Amino acid sequence: MISDKDVKYIAGLARIHLEDDQVTHLTKDLEGILHYIEKLNKLDVTQVDPTSHVLPLKNVYREDEVKPSLSQEEVLKFSVEQRDGSFKVPKVIE
């Protein structure tokens, strides 16, 4: 149902590095859980609307006003690396 190859692909989408033994282990775990989830296939839901949220939510608008917010210094304080008032990250483009 789910293969090591699928797990490696999903790990890439989720931006998680996995060692080979972790891939094997996760494949087994996910296979068990997906097998359990298959019980939903007993239900015919073609005529049912999906519920992504229980409240009858509408867009909540507000005036576009400038209000006090965190300073640049406060925001940068928790980053591991920073330079010239910006977050520093490894090279993005080869």
Partner 1 sequence: MKLNALTAHEILDLIKDKQTTPQAVLDEVQQHIKQSDKDVHAYVRLAKNSNISDVSVDQNAIPIPIGIKDNICIKGEETTCCSKLLTGFKPPYNATVIEKLKASGAMFVGHTNMDEFAFGSSTENSFYGVTHNPWNLECVPGGSSGGSAAAVAANEAIWAIGSDTGGSIRQPASFCGVVGLKPTYGRVSRYGLIAFASSLDQIGPLTKDVTDSALLLNILAGHDSKDSTSVDQPVPDYTKALTKDVKNLKIGVPKEYFVEGMDAEVKASVMQSIEVLKQCGAQFVDVSLPHTEYAVATYYIIATAEASSNLARFDSVQYGLRQNPAQKRKTTLVDMYEESRSVGFGEEAKRRIMLGTYSLSSGYYDAYYLKGLKVRTLIKNDFDKAFESVDAIITPTSPTTAFKIGARAKNPLDMYLSDIYTISANLSGIPGISIPCGFSKEGLPIGLQILAKPFDEEMLFRIAYTFEQNTEWHKKKVGF
Q: Which residues ranging from 30 to 59 are in contact with partner 1 (CB under 8 A)?
A: 30, 32-34, 36-37, 39-40, 43, 45, 48-55, 57
Distance of CA 16 to the CA centre of its chain: 11
Alpha helices in the chain (DSSP H): 4-13, 20-37, 72-76
Least distance in angstroms from the C-beta of 64 to partner 1: 14
Distance of CA 67 to the CA centre of its chain: 30
Q: In this structure, what token pair is assigned to residue 92?
A: 């993005």
Helix (H) or strand (E) holding 87: strand 86-87
CA distance 86 to 84: 6
Q: Is 18 in the site for partner 1 (CB under 8 A)?
A: yes
Least distance in angstroms from the C-beta of 84 to partner 1: 15
Q: Is 6 in the site for partner 1 (CB under 8 A)?
A: yes
Q: Which residues would be at the binding site for partner 1 (CB under 8 A)?
A: 2, 6-7, 10-11, 13-18, 22, 26, 29-30, 32-34, 36-37, 39-40, 43, 45, 48-55, 57, 60, 62, 70, 74-75, 77-81, 87, 89-92, 94
